[in-house]
């Protein structure tokens, strides 16, 4: 059904003329655009800027049709292409620990670029960099994770639980230790403002490997030892998709 509607919209745009509808809600609000899907339960309408909105059929009082001049095909393709490019910015923090050793806190930042649409679903797939600050036992460890990530809603609704995972390599920002494998697991809530913009709050669990260098002086000779460490951190992250 969706594929047929897309073909029809494409052909109508090619001749620069298409049908537009006005959705009249029971509250009196009027939403003008093109209906791309409807059944007995929901109506999905796309406005002139390409944003999609979904309304329960019970909230719709009337649907009217009129004819208007549409954008040319090249302009529509540009809108679609731009809609699929998205940025995810996340900020958060919480607790951190090294098993059987030290406890402390963490600060976390992510900047990811990718697509907010996988097929017809609002699934974010992207890659980017981040920052991890770990404060443990009077020491501070800083890492720059280079990562690939996915954020997937469990249901395709405006309000939805969301699951996420990221894998990559945490680059150490100090000469006293080396980086290693980085992994992140998220679960929380996402609110979709429109087809491209959304807000999220998630609980996270992160894992970071590192090689810690220690120096010891014996008989005026400096010896360097390297010890493997695993850092774990948990907390909350607040994100915005745009």
Q: Check whether residue 98 and residue 42 sit in a common domain.
A: no
Name the residue among 192, 119, 118, 193 with its Cα closest to residue 150: 118
Angle between helices 2-14 and 73-83 (to 10 degrees): 140
131 has pLDDT over 90:
yes
Domain count for the chain: 2
Q: Check whether residue 133 and residue 156 sit in a common domain.
A: yes
Q: Check whether residue 59 and residue 94 sit in a common domain.
A: no
69 has pLDDT over 90:
no
Three-class SS string for 99-131? CCCCEEEEEEEEEEEEECCECCECCEEEEEEEE
> Do residues 95 and 106 touch, judged by C-beta distance below 8 A?
yes
More reliable by pLDDT, 146 or 81: 146
Q: What is the mean pLDDT of the chain?
A: 83
Q: Check whether residue 142 and residue 195 sit in a common domain.
A: yes
> Do residues 142 and 132 touch, judged by C-beta distance below 8 A?
yes
More reliable by pLDDT, 29 or 20: 29
Q: Check whether residue 97 and residue 176 sit in a common domain.
A: yes
Average pLDDT over residues 23-49: 86
Q: Check whether residue 74 and residue 93 sit in a common domain.
A: no
Domain that holds residue 59: 2-82
User: What is the tens place of the pLDDT at every residue in 194-236?
Assistant: 877 899 999 999 999 999 876 667 666 666 677 888 999 999 9
> Do residues 44 and 34 touch, judged by C-beta distance below 8 A?
no
Residue 140 binned pLDDT confidence (cut-offs 50, 70, 90):
very high
Record the pTM: 0.62
Q: Check whether residue 58 and residue 99 sit in a common domain.
A: no
Element (H, E) at 79: helix 73-83
* Domain end call among 24, 57, 82: 82
| Separation between Cα atoms, residue 196 and residue 191, nearest integer Å | 11
């Amino acid at each position: 059904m969706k594929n047929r509607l897309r073909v029809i919209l494409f052909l109508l745009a090619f001749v620069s003329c298409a049908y537009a509808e006005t959705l009249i809600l029971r509250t009196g609000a009027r939403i003008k655009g093109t209906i791309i899907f409807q059944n007995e339960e929901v109506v999905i309408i796309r406005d002139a800027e390409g944003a999609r909105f979904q309304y329960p059929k019970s909230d719709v009082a009337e649907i009217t049709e009129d004819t208007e001049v549409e954008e040319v095909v090249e302009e529509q393709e540009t809108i679609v292409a731009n809609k699929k490019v998205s940025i995810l910015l996340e900020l958060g923090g919480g607790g951190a620990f090294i098993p059987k050793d030290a406890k402390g806190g963490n600060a976390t930042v992510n900047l990811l670029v990718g697509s907010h649409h996988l097929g017809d679903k609002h699934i974010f797939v992207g890659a980017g960099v981040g920052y991890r600050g770990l404060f443990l036992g009077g020491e501070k460890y800083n890492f720059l994770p280079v990562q690939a990530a996915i954020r997937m809603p469990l249901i395709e609704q405006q309000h939805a639980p969301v699951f996420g995972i990221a894998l990559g390599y945490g680059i150490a920002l100090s000469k006293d230790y080396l980086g290693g494998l980085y992994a992140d697991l998220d679960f929380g809530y996402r609110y979709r403002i429109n087809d491209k913009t959304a807000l999220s709050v998630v609980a996270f669990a992160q894992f970071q490997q590192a090689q810690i260098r220690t120096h010891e002086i014996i008989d005026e000779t400096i010896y360097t030892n390297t010890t493997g460490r695993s850092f774990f951190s948990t907390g909350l992250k607040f994100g915005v998709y745009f």
